[in-house]
Amino acid sequence: MKIGFIGLGNMGAPMASNLANAGHEVTGFDVAGTTAEGVTIAASASEAATGRDAVVTMLPNGAILRTVAAEIIPAMAADTAFIDCSTVDVESARAVAEQALEAGLLPVDAPVSGGIGGAQAGTLTFMAGGSEKAFAKAQPLFEIMGAKSVHCGEAGAGQAAKICNNMILGISMLGTCEAFALAEKLGLDWQKMFDVVSTSSGSCWSVNTYCPAPGIGPQSPADNDYRPGFAAELMLKDLLLSQDAAESTGATTPIGARATELYANFVEQGGRGRDFSAVLEMLRKKT
């Protein structure tokens, strides 16, 4: 396939490279001038989107997605798959999908889970919203860039799933960090704590796979001075999206709201640019 890829950042670059390494002809563009292995660089987003079978976007927020969509949709031919892998608000995802449908395109909102490591390894999970036809055209690309893709429903459903998933992740990581900080103050060895919790009712991804305590469990950012696999400011972004969604729908999310406050404090107090699990360090310093 001929693929356009717009947004070659920490996530987008390895995703685009995986598509190129699988034999697809990939043309990319990023406003920052970044590149990706195996990807031909275009002079503009519209150039990257012209004459493609599929166009993938990986962008920072809904406002930028709307701006880029307005530029590239006119350049795309009918029945081109427009696969947006950004994490944005549901309203923006649905608005862009509507514009794409009016142009005869096949839009899919497909945010991802798995972080930079998953993007590099091609093991991401894609949560997709859109028509059955659009998902079917996008799925072979999901299989290259990731390990799993789930068709969650119509336009916006992928973003809804991502927002809900990451609200759980933010809450569970805070609970995990609080528990390890408390265990330390109680004199409980962290390894013993892990051995119990990872096989007991407290077991969760934040403990078993991404433990925030250095030297405990599988290798995680905690073992690399909390260099981000998933930056704290990105977790805050997703939690803010969850609270915007809760407000717009009338949903009650008191723990999600508190998690948002705690991550906002963490980012303001030096957490920016660090992994979201580094909140453990902040908790250890507080009494």
C-alpha 251 chain-centroid distance: 23
Instruction: Give the C-alpha distances (Å, rounded to integers) separating 269 from 229, 279, 283.
Output: 19, 10, 12
What is the rounded CA–CA span in Å between residue 275 and residue 69? 30
Phi-psi region of 109 (alpha: psi -120 to 50; beta: other; left: phi over 0): beta
Phi-psi region of 114 (alpha: psi -120 to 50; beta: other; left: phi over 0): left
285 assigned to active site: no
C-alpha 281 chain-centroid distance: 24
**Count of helices and strands (H, E) across the chain:** 12, 9
Helix pair 254-266, 157-185: axis angle to 10 deg: 70
DSSP H or E segment with residue 132: helix 132-145
Residues 6+ away with beta carbon under 8 Å from 115:
229, 230
- In the set 2, 148, 162, 286, the catalytic residue is 162
Q: Hey, which residues are catalytic here? A: 162
